[in-house]
């Protein structure tokens, strides 16, 4: 996966809306739940260098294999259901229907 990515169709509007929300928030921080290979960390860094983007990734091999600390300010290796710092973030990225189902229980 190249470091410089182009947004897929539809992602540009999502990124624009996210940037607007976060820039007008008292908490200009985003957390990416289930960061995987770091797609959102890479994309958001291209749009706003001042934005703080952290990640939650429970699977340690992904953290190492995809060098997540290079793309996120902080990587939390934890189950999102046990994460207790949600109030620190102006936005939460949940991509994938399986994550959305799981997070309803948070």
Write the CA distances from 81 to 4, 14, 25, 104, integer angstroms.
Answer: 31, 25, 24, 10
Helix (H, G, I), strand (E, B) or coil at 59: coil
pLDDT in tens, 57-106: 999 999 999 999 999 999 999 999 999 999 998 888 987 545 544 444 44
Q: Where does the pLDDT of residue 28 fall: very low under 50, low under 70, confident under 90, or very high at 90 and above? A: confident
Cβ neighbour number for residue 54 with a 10 Å cutoff: 19
Model-level pTM greater than 0.95?
A: no
């Amino acid at each position: 996966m190249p470091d410089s990515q182009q947004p897929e169709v539809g992602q540009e509007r999502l990124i624009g809306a996210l940037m607007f929300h976060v820039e007008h928030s008292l908490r200009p921080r985003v957390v990416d739940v289930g960061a995987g290979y770091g797609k959102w960390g890479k994309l958001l860094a291209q749009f706003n260098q001042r934005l703080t983007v952290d990640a939650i990734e429970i699977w340690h091999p992904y953290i190492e294999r995809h060098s997540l600390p290079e793309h996120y300010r902080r990587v939390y290796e934890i189950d999102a259901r046990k994460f207790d710092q949600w109030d620190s973030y102006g936005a939460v990225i949940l991509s994938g229907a399986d994550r959305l189902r799981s997070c309803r229980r948070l």
